[in-house]
Amino acid sequence: MKNFIETCCNECWHTNENPCEQFVLCCTEGPLCHQNPECKVKFQNLNKELLYQKHDIPVIFIGMGTCGLASGAEKVKEAIEAELTKLNIEARIVPTGCIGFCAREVIVDIKVPNDKRVAYCEVTPKDIPELIKTAIIEKKILDRKFLGIHGEGDAGHISIDQVPFFKRQHKIVLEKCGIINPDSIDEYIANGGFKALDKALRIMTPETVVKEVKDSGLRGRGGGGFPTGMKWEIALKQKNDKKYIICNADEGDPGAFMDRSVLESDPYKMVEGIMIAAYAIGASSGYVYCRAEYPLAIKRILNAISKCKEYGLLGNNILGTDFSFELKIKKGAGAFVCGEETALIASIEGKRGMPKPRPPYPSISGLFNKPTVINNVETFANVTSIINKGAGWLNSIGTKASKGTKVFALSGNVKYSGLVEVPMGVTLREVVFDIAGGIPDGKEFKAVQIGGPSGGCLPESVMDTEIDYESLKSVGAMMGSGGFVIMDEDTCMVDVAKYFLNFIKDESCGKCVPCREGTKRLLEIIERIPTAYSEKTNKLEQLQRFKGIMHMQRLADVIKDTSLCGLGQTAPNPILSGLRYFREEYEEHLYERHCKAGVCKELLTYTIDNDICSGCGLCAKKCSVEAIVGDKKMPHYIVQEKCIKCGMCVETCRFEAITVN
């Protein structure tokens, strides 16, 4: 037997056209339809192989998610292949997804027969000969690149779970990410996959599935945090010949890549979650709405769908029950607003992706006016574990109102960027300093931007806030989908607000007035703040700069109060949270026209220190606008009116005589 779809002997009658009710259980405990010790061994061996418990040749796992590939995983793979050929070593190479530690990619795990799986990080093609020599030929650990041992550690070599980055994490959604081969349905099954679906179909009614999810306290992981079970319950109660399930994989926040990683690393977990949801509400069709910018994720979902069909896990009469379900993928064209559920529905319907007023809610009238449940990737991935382990299990993790875990995508000025899954209730400080290793280069922490572009920037003073839906809202941010951007002292908060607002303005669909016109005006107000003063500046512009500030709060409040969808309602958050926590910085820009972080170009002043300048004239030569004057061998001088703050002089000066502030 090479895979589970093969029959062990003539007595097994399972085919995908005629699925066997016991298929899932049979895979891991089979055969169940007949008793044959030989067959039993066949099954056991296959399972052991798929779990990498039994293999004759070394197995080399390479993290080949998008982050791994971006770090050069493809080159590493080629180098490994070349080295293996060179040394005439037979080994198996298994591409995996992302284990979450994106900062230290390329991550390569090596498992030699009858030994533990050892993870190495920051592997480059140059390291390969040494790595293969040490790990495969000498069967030792290459300490230079050592990350951790999967399973228990030993003297001198810690378990990967004890690595600070992983230690505080609690992996439910990401459990198998980076561990298993995301393209192999057999590995997924051997790891307990589809057991939840099997349980739901065979021993649970739709009502009990909904109740289980409801009792677990699971809330939507896509941003709003609406109780998932409640959403399902409404859809279940609708009487309609057709219902839909949609998986929102249109992850559009800058700095968010949680869903992508799950799709690339463990797509079956999400597919199984979708199928359980479909069974629970009575849906016969489903869509995965995934942005076209995620080519690898799309490839993996398509593969997962076709494999599921092949194994009789998608299609008619799944596992011999009355449950029939088809799953399609719909590629999104990259509009941020299509993450909003009604806009997403419009997009699937072939219409312009614009939100619609609610009610009616999609659970009552959604896709093609049929009851539709939309959840995001992470939510569905949680469902599988809930059904397997029970509502009480998830309920025991997290805080009072926010249960379970949340995956965050750490990025920005932080030592270890990557994906982390933490239980609700962990503080922001723990995530930034304990898990992500704090700020690199000895810089000071300044803020963390959480919740995507329309989240908020939180300062040091609220870093002890526990991560849950309500606490984050109370400090002016939001859970959002899980973007977690960390900023150091060199970040200008006015500039950050400008960046996010510009994003929101570009991504506004243009339907409702406050978002379409308001975000543009808000951006213009912010853009006028870091402008330099000169005698030549138009008086009207000066007036507008101050007038804008006077009316900024009013405009932000109206946008928040009146916008049609979540995008607009949260659009002013970067500014509102900025004004709340970094007011002095705004005032400094406004009144003193000074940017402490040295980011706002127009407000910078370049000066040459007379004591240091040797008068070499190199800077004057390089200055493209001839703003630097001075006699040879005499200290030079910058004509401020001419200076365009390009910074070329600073780069040119060999004496560090030019200062910027």
Partner 1 sequence: MLELTINNIKVKAEEGMTILDAAKSVGINIPTLCHMKDLFPTGACRICVVEVDGMRGLTPSCAYPVMEGMKVQTNTPRVRIARKTIVELLIENHPQDCLVCVRNKNCELQDLSETYNVREHRYCGEKKEHAIDISSASMERDPAKCILCGRCVRTCGEIQKIGAIDFTNRGFYSTVTTPYNIGLNVSDCILCGQCILVCPTAALREKSSSKEVMNAITDKKKFTVVQVAPAVRASIGEEYNLPLGTNATGQLVTGLKRLGFDRVFDTNFAADLTIMEEASELINRVSNGGTLPMFTSCCPGWVKYIEQNNPELLPHVSTCKSPHEMEGAVLKTYYAKKMGLKPEEIYVVSIMPCTVKKFESNRAELAIDKLQDVDAVLTTRELVRLFKAAGIDFNDLPEDKFDNPLGDSTGAAAIFGTSGGVMEAALRTAYFKLTGTELANLALEEVRGNDGLKSSTIDINGLEVRVAVVNGIGNVGPVLEEIKNGTSKYHFVEVMACPGGCINGGGQPIHQKPEKVKKRVQALYEIDSKMKNRRSHENESVQKLYKEFLIEPNSHVAHEVLHTTYVDRKKILSNK
Decide if 67 contacts 379 (C-beta within 8 A): no
Query: What kind and span of H or E run contains 61?
Result: strand 59-63
Out of 310, 489, 517, 588, the only residue in the binding site for partner 1 (CB under 8 A) is 517
508 binds partner 1 (CB under 8 A): yes
- What is the radius of gyration, based on Cα positions, of the chain? 28
| Per-residue contact string for residues 314-343; x = within reach of partner 1 by CB under 8 A | ---------------------x--------
What's the closest the beta carbon of residue 337 comes to partner 1, in angstroms? Answer: 8
With CB under 8 A as the contact rule, the residue among 376, 519, 573, 577 that binds partner 1 is 519
Of the candidate residues 506, 587, 609, 651, the single one contacting partner 1 (CB under 8 A): 506
174 binds partner 1 (CB under 8 A): no
Residue 374: enclosing H or E segment and its boundaries?
A: strand 372-376
291 contacts partner 1 (rule: CB under 8 A): no
* Residue 497 interacts with partner 1 (CB under 8 A): yes or no: no
How many angstroms separate the Cα of 487 from the Cα of each of 251, 322, 499?
22, 53, 13
**Minimum distance, C-beta of residue 522 to partner 1, in the bound complex (Å):** 9
Judged by CB under 8 A, the residue of 462, 555, 649, 653 near partner 1 is: 555
Give the total residue count for the chain: 661
Residue 85: how many other CB atoms lie within 10 Å: 9
592 binds partner 1 (CB under 8 A): no
Strand partners, 286: 245, 327
Q: Which is nearer to partner 1, 319 or 523 (CB)?
A: 523
Q: Is 479 in the site for partner 1 (CB under 8 A)?
A: no
Rounded CA-CA distance 178/174 in Å is 8
Query: With CB under 8 A as the contact rule, which of the stretches 203-211, 273-281, 314-322, 500-508 interacts with partner 1?
Result: 500-508
CA atoms within 13 A on the CB side of 81: 10
Alpha-carbon distance 646 to 626, whole Å?
Answer: 12
Minimum distance of partner 1 from residue 509's CB (angstroms): 6
Pick the stretch among 178-186, 206-214, 457-465, 510-518 that binds partner 1 (CB under 8 A): 510-518
Q: How far is the CB of 353 from partner 1 (least distance, A)?
A: 9
364 lies in the site for partner 1, by CB under 8 A: no
Q: How far is the CB of 137 from partner 1 (least distance, A)?
A: 58
Interface segment toward partner 1; rule CB under 8 A; list 83-91, 205-213, 503-511, 601-609: 503-511
328 φ, ψ to 5°?
-125, 160
How far apart CA 281 and CA 373 sit, in angstroms, is 8
Q: State the Cα angle at 286 between 285 and 290, rounded to 5°.
A: 155
Task: For residue 548, state whether it binds partner 1 (rule: CB under 8 A).
Answer: yes
Please say which residue, 160 or 472, places its beta carbon nearer to partner 1: 472
Residue 359 is a binding residue for partner 1 (CB under 8 A): yes
- What's the closest the beta carbon of residue 468 comes to partner 1, in angstroms? 19
Q: Is 513 in the site for partner 1 (CB under 8 A)?
A: yes
> Which two tokens mark 533?
């003063």
CA dihedral 574→504→100→180, nearest 10 degrees, is 150
Cβ proximity of 218 and 391 under 8 Å: no
Asked if 426 is part of the footprint of partner 1 (rule: CB under 8 A), the reply reads no
Residues facing 109 on adjacent strands: 61, 119
Q: How many residues bind partner 1 (CB under 8 A)?
A: 39
Write out the H or E segment, with its range, that includes residue 108.
Answer: strand 108-111
Contact between 368 and partner 1 per CB under 8 A:
no
Residue 451 is a binding residue for partner 1 (CB under 8 A): no
- Of 34, 139, 140, 551, the one binding partner 1 (CB under 8 A) is 551
Cα-to-chain-centroid distance, residue 396: 25
Nearest to 103 by CA among 440, 569, 477: 440
One-letter amino acid for residue 347 of the chain: S
- Which residues face 111 on adjacent strands? 59, 117
Instruction: Sketch the per residue contact string, 618 through 657, with partner 1: x for CB under 8 A, - otherwise.
Output: ----------------------------------------
Please state the closest distance from residue 358 (CB atom) to partner 1, in A: 9
Joined tokens for residue 440: 């690199």
Binding to partner 1 by residue 216, rule CB under 8 A? no
For the bound state, the minimum distance from the C-beta of residue 354 to partner 1, rounded and expressed in Å, comes to 8
Which residues in 439-553 belong to E strands, given as ranges?
445-450, 456-459, 483-488
Q: Which residues bind partner 1 (CB under 8 A)?
A: 335, 352, 354, 356-357, 359, 505-521, 524-525, 544, 547-548, 551, 554-555, 557-558, 560-564, 569
